[in-house]
Amino acid sequence: MSRARCVAIGSACLGTFAPVALAADAGLIVVHDGGGASALPYYRELNLKTPEPGQAATRPTIETPRPPNRGYSEGDLLPVRSTRLSPGTITPRAIHAPGLKPIFLIGDDSRSRAWLRANAEKLNTLRAVGFVVQVESEDALRSLRHLAPNLILVPASGDDLAQRLGLKHYPVLVTATGIEP
């Protein structure tokens, strides 16, 4: 697009919006009033102070929280607790979820640790990503990672997945074709 054309288009746009901006300064313009009830009672409930005529409205001071002096870390995500999931036995079943990358859910418990040790090679071959759905501390998460150093383990609540997939227990492997213990 040529520079002259860009300038012409820009000028046309400014010409279109300039009257709208000027009208906004002139006061409220009601384009359409569909009726209904007044919102004034709701505003009165807020006990807002209206400025005296000729005075500028003052805005309330809102204190924003200060960011931490350091960056966020994985430890800031802990503890993780999934209220819809607990350690237990999974009944294998087929699912149809094309495109779903293999994932697995574990916790920081003896059943999950044994399952992770027994299935580490298979999980690695599948390139499955693990969600640690019950873990209290960075030390506990580090300990799980030590059991399977080649796997990705992420602390995250499993409640949404549990609800969507009808899961109640972990450890579990979820692939595009099935749910298995």
Q: State what percent of residues in the chain have pLDDT above 90.
A: 57
Tens digit of pLDDT for each residue in 87-122? 999 999 999 999 999 999 999 999 999 999 999 999
Tokens of 123: 């999980």
Of residues 111 and 28, which shows the higher confidence score? 111
Handedness of CA 76, 77, 79, 83 (dihedral sign): positive
pLDDT at residue 22 in the model: 46
Mean pLDDT score of the chain: 83
Best CA proximity match to 145, nearest among 159, 130, 125, 128: 130
Of residues 29 and 92, which shows the higher confidence score? 92
pLDDT at residue 2 in the model: 47
Query: Would the pLDDT of 60 be above 80?
Result: no
Q: What is the model's pTM? A: 0.63
Q: Burial-class residue 102 by CB neighbours within 10 Å (0-12, 13-18, 19+).
A: middle
Best CA proximity match to 148, nearest among 119, 177, 175, 169: 119
Across 155-170, average pLDDT: 96
User: Per-domain residue ranges for the chain?
Assistant: 77-180
Q: Return the SS3 of 60.
A: coil
Q: How far apart are CA 156 and CA 154, in angstroms?
A: 6
CA angle 97, 102, 104 (to 5 degrees): 115
